[in-house]
Structure 1
Amino acid sequence: MGGGNGEVLQGLADDFQSETGIAVNLVFQDSYEGVLTKFLGALESGEVPDLAQIDSLFAQQVLGTGATEPVENLLSDSFPVDDLLPNVTSFFTVDDVLQSMPFNNSNAIMYYNRTAFEEAGLDPDSPPTSLAAVREYSETLVDEGVTEAGITWPNHVWFVEHFYSVDGQLLFDAKNGHAGKASTLYTDNPTARRVYEWWRGMADDGLYTNPGIEAWGEATSTFLTGNAAMLLTSTAFVTGARQGAKENGFEVDNAFYPTVDGDRVGPVIGGASWFAPSGLPDDRRAKIGQFLEFMASPASQITWHKGTGYYPNRQTAIDRLEASGWFEENPMYRTAFDQLTEAENTPATKRMLVGPARQAQTTIQNTSVQLFEGQVGIDEGLGQLKTTVEKQLNRYHS
């Protein structure tokens, strides 16, 4: 958590220290991958931090070490676990126990340039809701000379997960890894073919701009500088989108993630949670429990939400925001929350929980490039993708 989000996080840590007298030392790492690598190394060496903020993508890899303690054990009996949003905690609950504390959680939504829509003769109050509609809007934007491309997003596995989950399709067997060890990646299905055929067509016709693999900043820049009128990215970008649009002289808005064929099930969550190592002395465990409860308190969740755009994880916090009129005055902050709460809670809307997640992520992202650039046929590429990820799963489990 660097940048503006890091400043909000530091402010909360300072408030906790003022309130309790317990010193907090936040150590920033360059990326989620950096946190994961150092935390796994720390677990092996025994020189562990009290908490690590781990990307949900890597949850199973951390759980697989057997060296963490369920955070539910660190919370007081009075902490209302049932006030946490069930669509969020369902991912972090394994064997009916809350393994890590959800904190900065999000889903992907679509941001769009209202000004560009108006210039192209499109209704900014009716953004596209499906892949076909995204193509239609993109064609109009480009044909009218308003933007160079219609849409962009970082080439990251999370967006592939979203296409699958919004369509109600599992990405992995064993209920995306939540019902046991996943052994296969599902690519031989209409969802995969429709997504990649659409993606390739968008790229072929200059309607999609590829910012690069995991190129979050580049995708954001492409959108804010007006080179693309639509952007798929995290709800954590709400605050930055409003500020960036103002600086670049256009009006911004957001909407639900586009569906594959019109039917909508729901998004997968993203973001991270707090993991605690096992074996810490009792006095440290008590302080960690206090910190976790403070960060999950309604007041802290409201501060975090307003400062970043991540949605609050506590129902009480949401009720307070509703009562104060916050969402009415700031509807862009509500989009991802509505997308979450209106979703079905099914295995398809639980993010993948697999051990070799980083390897699978890299394979999916690299193969996606080959597919949308036409380096390989759709069926051939999806078949190669399935075979490679299955080998990674087998290697990990053995």
Structure 2
Amino acid sequence: MGDDGRIVVEVLLADHPFEGFLDPVRRRAAEFGAAHPDYEVRISTYRYWAETGREDFIRILDRGRVPALVDVFFTETQHARDAVAATGGPLFTPVQRAVGGRREILGEPVVLDDFVDSARRYYSYDGELVSMPFSVSTGLLYANMTMLRAAGITEVPQDWDGLEAACRAVVQTDGGPPHAIAWAVDGWFFQGAVCQQGGLLADHANGRSGRAQKVDLASEELLAWATWWQRLHKDGLYFHTGAAQDWAGTFEAFIEGRVAFLCNSSVMAQSVVSAGAQAGIEVVADGLPRNGAVPYSGDVLGGDSLFLAAGLPPEVEDGALAFLQYLLNPEGAAAWHKSSGFIPVTHGSHRLLEAEGWFADKPHHLEAPKQLDASDGTPAATGALVGELANMHADLVQAMRDVLEQGADPARRFAQATDAAQQRLDDYNRRTVERHKAHWLEAAQLTPRTSDRGPGTT
């Protein structure tokens, strides 16, 4: 209870390095409190992307006590599912289980069945929605159509071969840029490329049918992507800034006209299009190019979801669940899309935006939902659910830097990355099992066995 007697729902959100990023959520929290005078939603934040942000967040989980709602970056989904409460048992409870089939909570209509399919699949396990998709994104290809038309290209390429040919045409044009394409050296793009080709990063159906025990960072699909990338770089078509995860540097190269193509997050669609217009560039957003030699499976999503703490008092749990429905009702999800750039995560919000003419005026916002909707729904397309995914991304980044900067052989270098990632996953799984066993033993010691009871007891 708060000092004023209201029921307090504590919410921990991931803040982004953009001014006023969470202001819309804070407004929704205030509106919810006004509509439900018995409740107060209190928001605190953490910076996952800060220098020690991930370590700080893991420490929050490992303490075993969390606020009612916790915003979890997608790479930490398995860690959140494995987290143990200080009192024993899971730290979080599945949202769908807590809703329990209700159609409304505290008068707020339940939106669990309205999520776009790709988001619902990613955050579900055994058909049960574990956490609420909140901020969902995917990768997009941004094209400088002004530059492309000068090279005789009128449409954005759809596959790797077409993109490579367009890159060569652009740099060979009189007055063309020194390079043709840029994207950050980031593990997310590796995941996306493997997803597109129907490949798996982990066993047990990418960790979807059981705990992931084995990883493969040197699969046929991953090496196809890495060797194509290596060729673009060797031929001077790909622009490498020399830094890992240089999202800002690649963005600047595109806006300054030093490349004709940029692969970046769909969250940046409005920023890329607006900055391009200010620079006199016509920018078109399209789906990421695909390996045309294999069937397309889907593209991985990014972003984060909201987990519900286990063991809450019933009135607090209902308040948290009701706030989730309010936050992501059609108006709320549409407003979050407009302010943040993340996709409208429910069908209702998409319909609302469409009726308003939002997509007709800003067609670049349609590409991410369209790309995610094209998924075939397989575990490959859904993406990997695996422990230490963030560090696996780091292994991929370092391996690719060695390929680009030192000429390392991709097959050999990514086999080494697999060994490192496997050791890390083995350690993670062992620690997880040991932690769970410790809590099981503690619980067993606190529960009297039949043989320990006195005569005549049952």
Alignment TM-score, normalising by the size of structure 2: 0.80
Instruction: Report whether the alignment pairs 1:294 with 2:326.
Output: yes
Moved more, 385-394 or 43-52: 43-52
The letter for the 2-side match of 1:59 is T
RMSD (Å), alpha carbons: 2.2
Alpha-carbon distance between aligned partners in 2 of 1:42 and 1:12, rounded to the nearest angstrom: 25
Alpha-carbon distance between aligned partners in 2 of 1:200 and 1:206, rounded to the nearest angstrom: 10
Q: What does residue 51 of structure 1 align with? A: 69
Q: CA deviation at 1:170?
A: 1.3
**Equivalent residue of 1:396, what SS?**
helix
Which residue of 261, 275, 291 corresponds with 1:260?
Answer: 291
**Distance change in 2, residues 1:17/1:326 (3 Å):** same
Instruction: Report whether the alignment pairs 1:133 with 2:162.
Output: yes
Q: What does residue 105 of structure 1 align with? A: 136
**Equivalent residue of 1:104, what SS?**
strand
Q: CA deviation at 1:190?
A: 3.4
Deviation readout 1:169-224 (Å, 9 max, x if unpaired): 11222111111222333345432232111111111222112242222222222222
Q: CA deviation at 1:162?
A: 0.8
**Distance change in 2, residues 1:319/1:181 (3 Å):** same
Q: How does 1:34-49 map to 2 (within 5 A)?
A: 36-49=54-67
The letter for the 2-side match of 1:16 is F
The letter for the 1-side match of 2:81 is L
Which residue of 33, 37, 46 corresponds with 1:29?
Answer: 46
Q: What does residue 20 of structure 1 align with? A: 36
Q: What does residue 282 of structure 1 align with? A: 314
The letter for the 1-side match of 2:254 is F
Identity of aligned residues (%): 24
Larger RCO (alpha carbons 8 Å, 6+ apart): 1
Alpha-carbon distance between aligned partners in 2 of 1:116 and 1:305, rounded to the nearest angstrom: 30
Q: What does residue 392 of structure 1 align with? A: 424
Alpha-carbon distance between aligned partners in 2 of 1:85 and 1:153, rounded to the nearest angstrom: 27
Which residue of 224, 227, 239 corresponds with 2:258?
Answer: 227
**Distance change in 2, residues 1:192/1:39 (3 Å):** closer
Q: CA deviation at 1:369?
A: 1.0
Alpha-carbon distance between aligned partners in 2 of 1:388 and 1:310, rounded to the nearest angstrom: 33
Which residue of 210, 223, 230 corresponds with 2:240?
Answer: 210
The letter for the 1-side match of 2:236 is G
Q: CA deviation at 1:160?
A: 0.5
Alpha-carbon distance between aligned partners in 2 of 1:26 and 1:391, rounded to the nearest angstrom: 37
Asked whether the equivalents of residues 39 and 52 of structure 1 are also in contact (C-alpha less than 8 Å), the reply is: no
Structure 2 residue runs without a partner (length 5+): 1-14, 84-89, 104-109, 431-458
Q: What does residue 243 of structure 1 align with? A: 274
**Equivalent residue of 1:26, what SS?**
strand
Alpha-carbon distance between aligned partners in 2 of 1:19 and 1:342, rounded to the nearest angstrom: 38
Q: CA deviation at 1:301?
A: 0.9
Which residue of 65, 70, 79 corresponds with 2:94?
Answer: 70
Alpha-carbon distance between aligned partners in 1 of 2:164 and 2:410, rounded to the nearest angstrom: 19
The letter for the 2-side match of 1:158 is W
Structure 1 residue runs without a partner (length 5+): none
**Off by >6 Å, runs of 4+ in structure 1:** none
Asked whether the equivalents of residues 75 and 290 of structure 1 are also in contact (C-alpha less than 8 Å), the reply is: no
Moved more, 38-47 or 356-365: 38-47
Q: CA deviation at 1:339?
A: 0.8
- Residues matched between the structures, number: 396
Alignment TM-score, normalising by the size of structure 1: 0.92
Q: What does residue 191 of structure 1 align with? A: 221
